């Protein structure tokens, strides 16, 4: 059973930075892709960043140039570095791992950006 545990969320002022971590129970490069999603109150969950195994990361347009997804296979951990945060980035952020047609989710971590 794949397990994912997010951490690093919190309250930050607009313009600030946070780094989210997602610790996986298996090697992150054993998955087809690692993803970060977010869900704001009253809104649908949206894909923020995806890191395909051996491929180039891609990002939601609204976070391009501000967010960076990366991985440390030695630590089985994926990161989401978030800079220049805006109030509209406020959401619960979820890590997800894709493996042969299945998607596994973490429990989420709250990010709140104050204006």
pLDDT at 32: 95
pLDDT at 1: 85
Return the SS3 of 65: coil
Q: What's the whole-number mean pLDDT along residues 54-68? A: 96
Element (H, E) at 6: strand 4-7
Q: What's the whole-number mean pLDDT along residues 6-21? A: 98
Write down the residue that tokens 């501000």 correspond to. 66
Cα distance between residue 58 and residue 39, in whole Å: 18
């Amino acid at each position: 059973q794949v397990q994912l545990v997010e951490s690093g969320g919190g309250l930050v002022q607009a313009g600030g930075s946070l780094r989210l971590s997602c610790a996986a129970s298996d090697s992150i490069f054993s998955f087809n892709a690692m993803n970060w999603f977010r869900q704001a109150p009253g809104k649908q969950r949206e894909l923020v960043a995806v890191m395909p195994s051996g491929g180039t990361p891609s990002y939601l347009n609204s976070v391009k140039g501000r967010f960076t997804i990366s991985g440390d296979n030695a630590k089985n951990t994926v990161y989401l570095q978030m800079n220049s945060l805006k109030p509209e980035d406020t959401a619960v952020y979820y890590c997800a791992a894709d493996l042969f047609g299945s998607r596994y989710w973490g429990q989420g971590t709250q990010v709140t950006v104050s204006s």
